[in-house]
Amino acid sequence: MSRHVLITGATGMLGRQLMATAPKDYSVMGWSHSDLRPGLDAIDAVSATQVDGFFAEHSLDVCIHTIAWPDVQKCENDEEGAYLVNSVTTENVAAACRRHGVRLIHMSTEYVFDGTREAGYGEDAEPNPLQTYGQTKLVAERQAVTVPEHLVVRLPVLYGELAQNLSPLWVPALLTALTRGSTVKLDDRFERQPTWTFDVAQTLWRLVDADVQGVIHVASQEGMTKYAWGLLLASAAGLDPSVIEPARGMPVVPGIPKPLRPWLLTQRLEQMGVPPLPGLSHRARAYVNSVPAGTAPGVPSSFVESNG
Ligand SMILES: NC(=O)c1ccc[n+]([C@@H]2O[C@H](COP(=O)([O-])OP(=O)(O)OC[C@H]3O[C@@H](n4cnc5c(N)ncnc54)[C@H](OP(=O)(O)O)[C@@H]3O)[C@@H](O)[C@H]2O)c1
């Protein structure tokens, strides 16, 4: 069925994939904020007036809300900013969805969990976020469920195209270091479920099409630490993985509590007959070849570990 869909955060890592993969019979609009692009509407979603004004002027069926600050360290450094971008934008979008009868598909995160449960987390598990990012995203979830027709989608760590701002920052830095033959230490304690934005976008469009409601986890079921992730990328890129060393000390970002294993179980998706999302071992080669035309992988001057 044809639908009018708004994607908030259309310049972001996931938003771009959603814009690029929308079903042909859907009419799709997107918002940007600081990254102004032709074809997108510039909206500051912290402003309830701007958000409601847009909804009032456009006839929408579905809003896919991807705006966030997903950088854990940035959120911890600027709690007020994190609250505004993660929580208040969702409050404003949810209010507009209620007022204008629009279905809300809200993106959330495995960071709403504390990662202590060995068996992993189903959709009904009790959240217990450990840091500002998870706390502000949980507030956002609670706003999203006030919309009569809503779907909260919890995601694990994502990777997009291999370019600055479209993949975890540490990945281009890693590939640069490996090209130079420098030794790199990567965390080997925190297990994650790296999942490609392309695969997430395909699944999201299926969920939109099927009018799925409630809460759902969308994640690959292949777990790995950054160390294992780095080894896979090195070999997919034809680089020497032997210079990557496992780091098993305490975390990467001192002072910010990170969940050790916030594993997202995907039984609901499986019950719906949706095949499991591919793990990185099936995607690594395509990923390292996914530098968008006209860009080079961004290379930060120092090696930076991201929130994943
Ligand atoms: N990245 C991950 O590993 C990960 C993991 C789990 C869950 N998630 C969730 O998935 C969703 C998408 O994440 P992502 O990685 O695609 O994020 P992202 O790449 O950082 O993109 C964030 C988007 O938010 C927009 N934005 C920021 N402030 C805004 C404001 N005041 N008004 C309007 N737009 C604003 C940005 O627009 P401009 O660029 O134009 O400023 C950008 O399009 C988020 O809900 C995130 O919490 C992400």
pLDDT tens readout for residues 126-140:
999 999 999 999 999
Q: Does the Cβ of 9 fall within 6 Å of ligand 1?
A: yes
Q: Does the Cβ of 35 fall within 6 Å of ligand 1?
A: yes
Assess whether pLDDT exceeds 70 at residue 266.
yes
The tokens of 198 are what? 């392309």
Residue nearest to atom 12 of ligand 1 (CA): 66
Mutational pocket test of ligand 1: of 29, 32, 67, the residue with most ligand atoms within 8 Å of the beta carbon: 67
Q: So what's the pLDDT on residue 306?
A: 37
Per-residue pLDDT band at 248 (split at 50, 70, 90) = confident
Would you call 30 exposed, middle or buried from its count of C-beta atoms within 10 A (0-12, 13-18, 19+)?
Answer: buried
Per-residue pLDDT band at 262 (split at 50, 70, 90) = very high
Assess whether pLDDT exceeds 70 at residue 279.
yes
Mutational pocket test of ligand 1: of 64, 158, 167, the residue with most ligand atoms within 8 Å of the beta carbon: 158
Per-residue pLDDT band at 298 (split at 50, 70, 90) = very low
Assess whether pLDDT exceeds 60 at residue 290.
yes
Mutational pocket test of ligand 1: of 7, 11, 113, the residue with most ligand atoms within 8 Å of the beta carbon: 11
What is the distance between the alpha carbons of residues 75 and 293, in angstroms, rounded to a whole number?
A: 31
- Reported as a single tens digit per residue, the pLDDT across 181-190 is 888 899 999 9
Mean pLDDT (the chain, rounded): 90
- Reported as a single tens digit per residue, the pLDDT across 214-226 is 999 999 999 999 9
Q: So what's the pLDDT on residue 271?
A: 95
Q: So what's the pLDDT on residue 177?
A: 87
- Reported as a single tens digit per residue, the pLDDT across 37-87 is 889 999 999 999 999 999 999 999 999 999 999 999 999 999 999 999 999
What is the distance between the alpha carbons of residues 236 and 215, in angstroms, rounded to a whole number?
A: 35
Q: Does the Cβ of 46 fall within 6 Å of ligand 1?
A: yes
Do 5 and 60 meet the contact criterion of CB atoms below 8 Å apart?
yes
Who has greater pLDDT, 162 or 119? 119
Which residue ranges make up each domain of the chain?
Answer: 4-158+194-217
Q: How far is the CA of 230 from the centre of ligand 1 (A)?
A: 24
Q: Does the Cβ of 67 fall within 6 Å of ligand 1?
A: yes
- C-alpha dist (Å) from residue 230 to 202, 275, 280, 291, 300: 25, 26, 11, 17, 17
Q: How far is the CA of 239 from the centre of ligand 1 (A)?
A: 31
- 4-158+194-217 belongs to which homologous superfamily? NAD(P)-binding Rossmann-like Domain (3.40.50.720)
What is the distance between the alpha carbons of residues 151 and 155, in angstroms, rounded to a whole number?
A: 13
Q: Does the Cβ of 147 fall within 6 Å of ligand 1?
A: no
% of the chain residues with pLDDT over 70:
91
